[in-house]
Every structure is written in C-alpha cells, then in structure tokens.
Amino acid sequence: MSRAQVIRPAGAGHETLYVLLVSVLIVLLAAGVVALRGEREDEQAIERHQLDARRDLTAAEQGLYTDLRVAFDEIQMLREERQAAPGVQALAEDGLPPFVDDAGSQSRGNHQWTWLQAGAYLGRSQAPDIAGSLLLILPAGNDGQPDIWLRRDSSHLPPDDLGQAALIAAGWRQVVSHYDAGVTREHRH
Amino acid sequence: MTAAAHVQPACGPAIEFGGIDLTLGRTRILEQVAFSVAPGTVHAIVGPNGGGKSSLIKTLLGQMPHQGQLTLRWPGEREVIGYVPQALEFDRGLPMTVDDFMAAMCQKRPAFLGLSRRVQPAIDAALARVGMLDKRKRRMGALSGGERQRVLLAQGLIPEPQLLVLDEPMSALDEAGIQVFEQLLAGWRQAGTTVLWIEHDLEAVLRLADRVTGLSRKVLFDAPPAQALTPERLLGLFSVHPRSESLA
C-alpha cells in the first residue's frame, strides 16, 4: 500500500477556520436550545376596541375600574340574596364606591349612576377629561366576570344594545387587564 | 548491527520538494527549493548557517507557512517520523533523569509514574544502542553535551521510524558518540529507513551519505557526494550570505 502525504503549510488559516466552525456550531446549538426550550413572550396584544387597564387609563379611571371590580363582588352577593340586581340607590346607601356620592367620587368625574334594564350599570361622567363614562355589564348567571366598558366623549345617551358589536359601533371601548410578565419586568413611569 | 548482508526493500518514504518558497516576515528563507529524496537512502543537506536548512526541516515537519508542493510517498502501513533536534538545553538543577526524559518522549503515561511496561524494552534497547544504559539515572542537566545528544538520538529510535530527520546530530558528539552514530546510520540504511540529515562535517557526508544537497536559500547542487563535494562547488555554496538579502 502506497500513500502520498502532502505536507500542508503551517499557519493560523485552518485553525481560524476550525475556531469559526466551532463558534458557528456553538451559536447553532445555543439557538437550537433557545428555540426548543425557550419560553414564549407572553405579553398579550389587545384588540383595537380594547383598553389596557394598566396602561391606557387615567389615574381616576384606574381607581374607578378597581372600585367597580370590588363592587361587582358585592353586587353578585346581593343579587344571589334578592334574585335581582340591587339598585343604584341601595348600593350608594351601603357606601359602596363608586356608587356612593362623596368627595372621592366628585374628584374622579362625579359619575351619575343609573341601572339599565338590559343588565348594566351606567356611570355618566360629568368631567370626561378626568374620567370617561363607565359601563359595568353584569354576567347573565351568578358566576362570571364583570364586563367593563369606557367612553371618553361627553355623550350621555345610554346604549340601546349591550352586545359587543353595538357598543363598539357606539364608541365604547372595553377595559381589559392582563397579568403578564410585563407587570413585574417593565417599568413605565 | 554489522554490515548489511542483504539490504531490505526500502520501507521509508520518498520525499519530493516541489518548488518550496518560504518567507518569514520580509525575509526570503527558501526560494524554489526543488529536489527529491529517494526512499531508503541517507540524504545529507549541507550549506552555510542561515541557509535555510533547519527551516526546510521544519517545513517538512509541517511547522512552517510554506508555499509549494511538499509530498511524502509512504510505501507501507507504518508512517513514523523520528526527529532528532540539534540540541536541547537543560538546567543543571532540573530533576529530570534520562529515564524521565525517555518516558516523557516515548509513552503516554505521565513520566512521574515511571516507565510504562509496554515501552520499557524499547527504551532499554535504544539506550543500549547509544551506550547510555549505565547513565539512565543521571539528571539530564548533569550530562555532557555529547551524552545529551546520544539521549536525543535514542528518543528518535522509539517507535522505530521509517523517516528520520536529523538536525546536525554530530555537532555535539565526541569520538565514541560519532562511532555510535555511524553504527546507527548503518542500521537505518540496512532497515531501509529514509534519513534526511543536516550536517556540517563534509568529510562525514562524503563518507556516509548517498546523496547530498547544497542549500543556501536555493538548491545549489544535488548530486552524489563524490561529485557534489568539489572545491569549486563548496566555495560557491559557502560564499553567499542569504541572511543579508531581503525582499524590501
């Protein structure tokens, strides 16, 4: 058996090539691991007709939104007891914000609350530049989540139809909240 | 190790230098060096200091960024190259014995664990061939230059090489060492080993080499020693000073 061996020039050429190839391999491996094992970005995009409760509301609106969600639990309990949704007057007498009329509610837009037979509480804002008008739509059953909508113009007409499409057409926007990674990681001031 | 009764077929490789150029920095070390070494022969390279002899050997060992085609044609399965450097310096106090050095060169097992049983017979035989068997416990730094050169020769024997590259092996050897070297050379010739041998001693080249190449940046001659080593050629070889020439 005969074999010709060509002596290759020494130099950094092949070594550089090997180092580059190894680097590419490492990058590909790392990319593969990230692609296979990495977690998705879990920040959710919101629809055009929605408002993010954390970012898109004014301070007064955020307070009202939170109060409405707390009040919703009370409303659900009263609803179970009485088999009917409590009136705005009863809620105000119980001292439940935002229905109660006090210094806090006056500074946050002085909303005039009314009960809509379709199954919703409508709060008309007297100062739309501080806080828009709010609409709390109760779910049909006793268990469910409240649906809260907001509009910032000064229209005082109550909505005829509580369907989503009709509300969107009338200029209402749904307030939604997400608990995602951005809550803890992002700092917007 | 007596005279060759019958010469075995060459098991060493043929070497073909096909127009080797070597430039380090802006200095031209080798320029279109082209000659070939026949398999199983003792091929000497002579030339002035700085003529590129050692660089040519380093090129052959794959340690130089040369240009041109350099080919080894191996005839058989075994492809072992032995290399004996010109000299190695050891500090006198370095606690490394001859055995430690041989172990470090010839076995994979760490030298501080002692000689491996597998290579021990080969190391014994190699040290015996160079006459260093009774000095194997001496420190490398305590040896004379000639004794150290013999140890370097011994490490070139393990494992048995098919191509042996010698860089001025006789320069440090004493009279007895030169006889040992000549015996080794006869043994390699008999075994068909290709020997590439840099040498300053032109008398030894004339006596021992099959062919000689005069190298001073370029190949000045390449012929059997009796034809090559004439006064005119040697005067031409040793009268140029390639070190002072530069590309700039």
| SS3 at position B29 | strand
Q: Among all residues of chain A, which has the CA nearest to that of B77?
A: A1
Cβ atoms of B40 and B11 closer than 8 Å: yes
Average pLDDT, chain B: 87
Q: Write the residue in A5, A10, A11 that is nearest to B71 by C-beta.
A: A5
**What's the CA gap between A38 and B92, in Å, rounded?**
60
Give the position of tokens 């550089």: A16
Domain assignment present for residue A3? The answer is no
Range B138-165 average pLDDT: 91
Q: Among all residues of chain A, which has the CA nearest to that of B21?
A: A9
Strands (E), chain B: 14-24, 27-37, 42-46, 67-74, 81-84, 163-167, 194-198, 211-216, 218-223
Contact B65 A2 (CB under 8 A): no
B96 contact partners, CB below 8 Å, separation of at least 6: B90, B104, B139, B140, B141
Domain count, chain A: 1
Burial of B198 (0-12, 13-18, 19+ CB in 10 A): buried
Other Cβ atoms within 10 Å of B59 Cβ, number: 25
Query: Using alpha carbons only, how large is chain B's radius of gyration in Å?
Result: 19
Q: B132 pLDDT band (50/70/90 cuts)?
A: very high
Domain membership of residue A62 as a residue range:
50-182
Q: A186 pLDDT band (50/70/90 cuts)?
A: low
**What's the CA gap between B92 and B143, in Å, rounded?**
9
Domain assignment present for residue A30? The answer is no
Q: What is the pLDDT of residues A52-101, one digit of tens each?
A: 877 777 888 888 888 888 888 888 888 888 777 788 777 778 777 888 77
Q: Which residues of A lie inside 8 Å of B (Cβ-Cβ)?
A: 1-11
Q: Which residues of A touch B15 (CB under 8 A)?
A: none
Domain assignment present for residue A137? The answer is yes
Q: B17 pLDDT band (50/70/90 cuts)?
A: very high
pLDDT greater than 80 at residue B89: yes
Contact A3 B73 (CB under 8 A): yes
Q: Which residues of A7-45 are buried (b: 16+ CB within 10 A; e: fewer)?
A: bebbeeeeeeeeeeeeeeeeeeeeeeeeeeeeeeeeeee
In angstroms, the separation between the Cα of residue A6 and the nearest Cα of chain B is: 4
Domain assignment present for residue A144? The answer is yes
pLDDT greater than 50 at residue B244: no
**Alpha helix (H) ranges present in chain A?**
12-37, 59-82, 88-93, 103-107, 164-170, 181-185
In angstroms, the separation between the Cα of residue B174 and the nearest Cα of chain A is: 35
In angstroms, the separation between the Cα of residue A14 and the nearest Cα of chain B is: 12
What pLDDT is attached to residue B245? 41
Q: Write the residue in B62, B69, B74 that is nearest to A10 by C-beta.
A: B62
Domain assignment present for residue A13? The answer is no
The structure tokens listed for B108 are 């994979």
Domain assignment present for residue A126? The answer is yes
> Can you say how many angstroms the Cα of residue A73 is from the centroid of all Cα atoms in its chain?
19
Range A161-182 average pLDDT: 76
Share of chain B above pLDDT 70, in %: 93
Domain assignment present for residue A64? The answer is yes
Contact A3 B79 (CB under 8 A): yes
A149 contact partners, CB below 8 Å, separation of at least 6: A134, A135, A137, A167, A172, A173, A174, A175
What pLDDT is attached to residue B18? 92
Q: What is the pLDDT of residues B194-209, one digit of tens each?
A: 999 999 899 999 999 9
Range A10-38 average pLDDT: 90
Domain assignment present for residue A146? The answer is yes
Q: How many CB pairs under 8 A join A and B?
A: 40
Q: Among all residues of chain B, which has the CA nearest to that of A11?
A: B65
Range B218-246 average pLDDT: 78
